[in-house]
Structure 1
Amino acid sequence: MSRAKDISGLEFIALNAMLMALVALAINMILPAFSHMTGHFNLPDPNRIGLSVALLYIGLAFGQILFGAWSDSIGRKLSLNIGLLIFLGGALLSYFSSSFWGFIAGQVIQGVGLGAPRVVTVAIVRDRYEGAMMARTMSFIMVIFALVPTVSPYLGQGVIRLAGWRALFVLFGVGALTMLIWLNTRLAETHPTDARTPLSFQRLAFNFGAVLRNGPAMLYAGALGVVSGAFIAYLNMSQQLFEVQHGLGSRYPLFFALMSLSLALASFLNGRLVVRLGVERLATIGVVVMCASSIVMAAATRAMGRKESLTELSLYLAVMLFCFGLLVSNLNALAMRSLGAVAGTGASVVGAVTTFVSVPLAILIGSFYSGSSVPLVLAFAGFSAISFCLVKLADRL
């Protein structure tokens, strides 16, 4: 048996978590640089730099479709290798770009490349586990994935102070090369040759059609996409909410990190509870608490006739991210439950549906921001209510 096949359960979780964490690093580390990049590119509207995150997600959606389907035909490891190299190329383009739109192009290319670690890791986990055990494993992966945002703004802020914002993309390149080495020396291929589907348009179309016709899977993916729209809007607006609206300045990464800890806590608790309580029950709890808390927050803000305090906003967002932490692992596991035969294509379609639903919603929410958290609170309330309806409909099917 080769050394790669001896990878332990803990190392398996750590490797897949760090592959997924590249997505969080590429998004969260540049948040403290928004004001620097706005000035560098002479942008008239500070909200415009938020396009870098939204469009990275668009690239991510296309990357997920591409690499998920490929991984069913060419294997998980080769798909990851190609994706990581594309991500590296996008990081280099963003580093060398002299124009805003060149920088944006680099972000989109990074997103396409990140589609591989984002979706193929889910397929790798599905190759080994299903149902509650998949949700449990994904929860522990999400603990590490969720802890990355607690340190990435600090790391980004430190890099910016030492070497400028462009150095962030050098760090991304180093991260991609590190993961390439770890992946190729330690992880065995989880999708054997005899289980692969021929790489042809007809086969890809058949697999995509089979996934898209799976009503429960698509409903669960839509439910995750809706609540993810509010989450991405929070990422886009967090710098303005904390640093500008509440005057935190350089303390912004601290509050962002504290919020992210609640997401990590939810993932950890989910991993401990999901086998006992069940995936469906925990997903329902997450979406109901998210909706009820948002309604209470919106009503209280209106009754007080003033903006929320920093403490009130922080407590509310901590609850939202805790609920989101419950939903990510469980709704993903529910969507993938019946897609084991085409796990790569299934993960790509689920991920793409989630992204194509969430990104336009996030951009829409961001367009309503005018110095108040009210649009974000209403989005969490309304989107979680829609998500609840989709989950219940999928449960019936």
Structure 2
Amino acid sequence: MASNPTPSGMHPREFVAFIAALMGVNALGVDLMLPALADIGRDLRVSEANHRQWVITVYMLGFGAGQLVYGPLADRFGRKPILITTLVGFVAASIFAASSATFAALLGARLLQGLMSASTRVLAVAIVRDGASGRAMARTMSIAQMIFFIVPILAPTLGQGLLELGPWRFIFYALGMFAAFVLAWTLMRLPETLPAGRRVSISISTLKRSYRLTLTNRFSVGYSAAASLTFGGIIAFVSSSQQIFVDEFGAGDSFTILFAVCAGAMGFASFANSRLVERLGTRMISQSAVVALIGLSIVHLLVALTSTETLTSYVVFQALSMTCIGLCGANFGAMAMDPVGHIAGTASSVQGFITSIGAVLVASVIGQSYSGTTLPLAIGYLAIGLVVLLLIFIIEGGKLFQARMNHADPG
């Protein structure tokens, strides 16, 4: 693939920062309102505490479904026009959310936000893939994700600060302002990364061929499914974090700090991955992380079953689990994308759909099982680790912990 992974006119550091900011639109869309879930529930008369989680899961549902649309459009019209259009739509959806008078209206606005923010995931991957592949792509995405994971660390604190200034509706206005900032950056600095000669017309036959290539390649669909499971673990933690830290452990005053510790572990993992992936390979790192996640989950499950869980033990187990998951995400994504890079936009859409919708289903099962203990999370993470390991075993033809080096899969 191309030796220069950055678009012309953008310094490598600016490019990584831009990709991180683009991904940050979605991260803020998920995490910024976590401190406000209780206020939203009271203000909009949500009687069941677990139903507040739908503010997160409905957004992720839209995020997953929207990704099927943007890839083919980006492969046909280019990356920049689609990104501009959807960022404008995200700003509008944020205003709708801020003015919601009922919980149903808010969920509708959140669904629209998710549909619009879906482009940020598809286009971030496609823009990076336009200039890099394999380990180089994994390294660029890891650096961007390292910066991106700062957002979950800071977002609840920022959300809490906004609540000090006014009602929960301020949070959605802030989301719209950040999206507007990224929109301005896109307009002024991002060149088009898909040359006209590489664009693909939209037709039923073209889409069928692209979908077939993406869905029949075992690395593409297999690692997308693996990513959906680990991503589901993240969403399950995020959507239930306010209930666990505040309601179960009574740590409301420390919620933002404790959440930051767990989210920061993913940032550390992404930084470590960016330094190690080109030397050790995507397979060695991600497979080791999955095995470690299984071991951690077994110990955590024993602690939860014996009713010896404390706030400290939960934070330690959660932070270590998030480290393992952080070592999987960028690597699974790179391995899924590599054999279908010539249709990066459409492939990113399909893979993103699989990853996000699967993650919503996984997170919903775990999150809605919350009943006042950490047991559902411990069981859920163990199940995720075991199923992912089985998937990897199938994808790799029974060969684990081996770096595969060929034209289709430089892992």
Common fold: TM-score over 0.5: yes
Indicate whether 1:279 and 2:282 are aligned.
Answer: yes
Q: Secondary structure at the match of 2:149?
A: helix
Per-residue CA distance 1:310-355 (angstroms, 9 max, x = gap): 1100100011110111111000001001011100111111111011
Q: How does 1:131-150 map to 2 (within 5 A)?
A: 131-150=134-153
Aligned twin of 1:382: 383
Structure 1 unaligned runs (5+)? none
Indicate whether 1:234 and 2:237 are aligned.
Answer: yes
TM-score, normalised via structure 2 length: 0.93
- Of Structure 1 and Structure 2, which has the larger fraction of its residues in helix? 1
Decide which of 28, 31, 36 is 2:34's aligned counterpart. 31
Q: CA-atom RMSD, angstroms?
A: 1.2
Aligned twin of 1:323: 324
Q: Secondary structure at the match of 1:6?
A: coil
Decide which of 154, 159, 168 is 2:157's aligned counterpart. 154
Per-residue CA distance 1:72-129 (angstroms, 9 max, x = gap): 1110111111111121121111111111111000000000010111111101111111
Q: Secondary structure at the match of 2:373?
A: coil
Q: Secondary structure at the match of 1:339?
A: helix
Q: What CA distance in whole angstroms lies between the structure 1 residues aligned with 2:232 and 2:183?
A: 31
For 1:313, the aligned partner's letter is Y
Indicate whether 1:92 and 2:95 are aligned.
Answer: yes
Q: What CA distance in whole angstroms lies between the structure 2 residues aligned with 1:176 and 1:311?
A: 36
Q: What CA distance in whole angstroms lies between the structure 2 residues aligned with 1:200 and 1:185?
A: 32
For 1:197, the aligned partner's letter is V
Whether the 8 Å contact between 1:265 and 1:322 is mirrored in structure 2 is yes
Aligned twin of 1:343: 344
Per-residue CA distance 1:211-249 (angstroms, 9 max, x = gap): 111122101011111122222111111001111111111
Whether the 8 Å contact between 1:67 and 1:83 is mirrored in structure 2 is no
Whether the 8 Å contact between 1:224 and 1:331 is mirrored in structure 2 is yes
**Deviation at residue 307 of structure 1 after TM alignment:** 4.1
Structure 2 unaligned runs (5+)? 1-6, 399-411
Whether the 8 Å contact between 2:94 and 2:172 is mirrored in structure 1 is yes
- Give aligned-pair identity as a percent: 32
Q: What CA distance in whole angstroms lies between the structure 2 residues aligned with 1:301 and 1:175?
A: 40
TM-score, normalised via structure 1 length: 0.97
The size of the alignment, in residue pairs, is 392
Whether the 8 Å contact between 2:213 and 2:340 is mirrored in structure 1 is no
Decide which of 21, 40, 43 is 1:40's aligned counterpart. 43
Aligned twin of 1:62: 65
Whether the 8 Å contact between 1:307 and 1:372 is mirrored in structure 2 is no
Q: What CA distance in whole angstroms lies between the structure 2 residues aligned with 1:367 and 1:260?
A: 21
For 1:354, the aligned partner's letter is T
Q: What CA distance in whole angstroms lies between the structure 1 residues aligned with 2:26 and 2:272?
A: 23
Higher mean C-alpha deviation, range 329-338 or range 171-180: 171-180
Aligned twin of 1:311: 312
Whether the 8 Å contact between 2:304 and 2:374 is mirrored in structure 1 is no
Per-residue CA distance 1:174-202 (angstroms, 9 max, x = gap): 11111111012111111111100012333
Q: What CA distance in whole angstroms lies between the structure 2 residues aligned with 1:356 and 1:160?
A: 31
Q: Secondary structure at the match of 2:130?
A: helix
Decide which of 185, 189, 193 is 2:188's aligned counterpart. 185
